[in-house]
Amino acid sequence: MAIRKFKFEFDSMHYYRFSVYRLGSNVQTVYTFFLDDLLIDTAQFHNRENIYPIAKEHQIQKIILTHHHEDHSGNVAFLMKKLKIKAYAHPETVKILKKGYKVNNLSKLLSGPVDKAILLPILETDKIETKNYTLQPIYTPGHCDDHYCYYEANKGWLFSGDLFVAERIKYFSYFESMLTQIESLKKLLKLDFDVLFCSHNPKTKNGKEHLSNKLHFFEDFAGKVTQYYGQGKSVKEIFSLMRMKENVYYKVITSGEFTAENMVKSVVNDLNSQQSK
Ligand SMILES: [Fe+2]
């Protein structure tokens, strides 16, 4: 297993790409961000030997997480222990990592397991200060319930975790909510920023435009599903009316947890839960 890393610098802030390769192919890439002595996210367990010396070199004193998923939290307990430092996250992330959770087999292959960790909660009203930066947590559910983005207002930077990823996407995990993500994207677009430090696809300019394009894609998609569902069509019928295609490999290897159909299902589930309220 070859694991490679790459270093980037933007306006004297450092960030690193941590990839996992299987059979010569890059199967998983995540970025972590080093702001003075603060680290945002901790990469996958499989990159433990790579992130540790970098965290030491940057004299990291504090960690914050965007959410609990294994490619972001895979080394939080390890780094806290080795560097004797504290880590902070959304109260729900704190609960999840305290209890611990089982990473599914595919994610274990791509990222590795997640150790239990005792984190401290931060709220939206809190500010995270370093020598040169001030970050504000912005609660942005939809990808998962415990998701924070972190906003650096003076710089016009948004650390957006997994809320962006790409302007147009073709697949959804079973736990994602499209309508909730739409609300979170609208909340973020009220902020003033140009740099979008996405954990999988950072954009160092026109970040707001990229995020706005994602919002429009979701609004258009959700609008069409809502219309068909209102006409009494089923999830399967909507999937075919929208000429969507499944990636059978993804569907099989994730036991149906990561599929194109999940995008339609997500909107239908959101509409049903809105109706039952
Ligand atoms: Fe995630």
Q: What values do phi and psi take at 125, rounded to 5?
A: -80, -10
* Alpha carbon of 70 to ligand 1 centroid (Å): 8
Task: Using the mean position of ligand 1's atoms as its centre, give its distance from the Cα of residue 143 in Å.
Answer: 7
Calculate how far, in angstroms, residue 5's C-alpha sits from the geometric centre of ligand 1.
20
CA of 73 to the centre of ligand 1 (A): 10
| The residue count for the chain | 277
From ligand 1's centre to the CA of 233, what distance in Å?
A: 31
Return the pLDDT at 30: 97
**What is the model's pLDDT at position 3?**
53
Please give the angle made by the CA atoms of 100, 47 and 133, to the nearest 5 degrees.
85
CA of 232 to the centre of ligand 1 (A): 32
- At 107, list the tokens: 């994610």
Q: Give the predicted TM-score (pTM) of the model.
A: 0.95
Ligand 1 center from residue 107 Cα (angstroms): 11
Q: What is the pLDDT of residues 46-59, one digit of tens each?
A: 999 999 999 999 99
Cβ atoms < 10 Å from Cβ of 19: 20
Q: How far is the CA of 66 from the centre of ligand 1 (A)?
A: 9
Question: What pLDDT sits at residue 169?
Answer: 95
Burial 32-69 (b: 16+ CB within 10 A, else e): bbbbbebbbbbbbbbbbebbbebbeebebebbbbbbbb
Token pair listed for 180: 């909730």
So what CATH class is 1-122? alpha beta
Q: Buried (b) or exposed (e) across 175-214, using 16+ Cβ within 10 A? A: ebbbbbbbebbeebeeeebebbbbbbebbeeebbebbbeb
What's the CA-to-centroid distance between 139 and ligand 1, angstroms? 14
Distance 132 CA to ligand 1 centre (A): 28
Distance (angstroms) between ligand 1 centre and the Cα of 15 equals 18
What is the rounded distance in angstroms from the CA atom of residue 60 to the CA atom of residue 35? 9
pLDDT at 182: 98
- Report, in angstroms and rounded to the nearest whole number, the Rg of the chain calculated over CA atoms: 19
- Residue 162 Cα to ligand 1 middle (Å): 5
Taking the centre of ligand 1 as the mean of its atom positions, its distance from the CA of residue 69, in whole angstroms, is 5
Beta partners for 6?
A: 17
Ligand 1 centroid to Cα of residue 106, in Å, is 14
Give 21's strand partners.
26
**Rounded average pLDDT per 10-residue block, the chain, 277 residues:** 73 95 88 98 96 97 98 98 98 98 88 97 98 98 98 98 97 96 98 98 98 98 98 98 92 88 97 88
What is the pLDDT, as a whole number, of residue 4? 57
Domain ranges in the chain?
1-122
CA–centroid distance, 147 to ligand 1, in Å, is: 8
CA of 231 to the centre of ligand 1 (A): 33
pLDDT at 47: 95
Dist. CA 176 → ligand 1 center (Å): 10
Give the separation between CA 102 and CA 96, rounded to whole angstroms.
11
What spacing in Å lies between the alpha carbon of 31 and ligand 1's midpoint?
Answer: 12
For tokens 């070199």, what's the residue? 57
Phi, then psi, of 265 in degrees rounded to 5:
-55, -40
